[in-house]
């Protein structure tokens, strides 16, 4: 019985650890949301409908479960072409690496 209990506790620790990893801290969420509008991303991206670029929902769905935040962050800074359609993604030299990484994580998490 004790062993079963220990196993159950271990499982709970594992589950909560992975939940924490997937979630972003409230401060990070706020920072990502304001960076998204401050850098003008909103003129081409909407949460759920396609404007010039794909919706944030579509992007999160396409990469769900894949470890791509580093390459996505790189494409946000350097630009991208031909992955979603014919419109190219502009490069964004004003965006620093930390903000790009934060935006990539936020978008891949479903832009909560």
Give the residues lining the site for ligand HEC (CB under 6 A).
39-41, 43-45, 52-54, 59, 72, 75-76, 80-85, 87, 89-90, 92, 95, 103, 107
Q: How many CB atoms lie within 10 A of CB 100?
A: 22
Min separation Cβ 31 and ligand HEC, Å: 13
We find the least distance from the C-beta atom of residue 61 to ligand HEC, in angstroms, to be: 11
65-99 per-residue burial string, b: 16 or more CB within 10 A, e: under 16:
eeeebeebbbbbbeebeeeeeeeebeebeebeeeb
CA–CA separation, 68 vs 109, rounded Å?
A: 11
Closest CA to 111 of 52, 43, 29: 29
By beta-carbon proximity to ligand HEC, the closer residue of 10 and 83 is 83
Name the minimum Å distance from CB 20 to ligand HEC.
Answer: 23
> In terms of CB distance, is 85 or 112 closer to ligand HEC?
85
CB of 10 or CB of 79, closer to ligand HEC: 79
Q: Which of residues 31 and 53 has its CB atom nearest to ligand HEC in the complex?
A: 53
């Amino acid at each position: 019985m004790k062993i079963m209990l220990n196993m159950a506790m271990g499982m709970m620790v594992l589950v909560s650890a992975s939940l924490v990893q997937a979630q972003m801290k409230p401060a990070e969420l706020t920072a990502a949301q304001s960076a998204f509008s401050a850098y003008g991303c909103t003129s081409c991206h909407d949460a759920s409908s396609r404007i010039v670029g794909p919706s944030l929902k579509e992007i999160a769905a396409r990469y769900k479960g894949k470890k791509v935040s580093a390459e996505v962050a790189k494409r946000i800074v350097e630009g991208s072409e031909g992955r979603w359609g014919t419109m190219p993604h502009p490069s964004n030299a004003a965006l620093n690496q930390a903000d790009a990484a934060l935006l990539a994580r936020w978008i891949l998490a479903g832009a909560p």
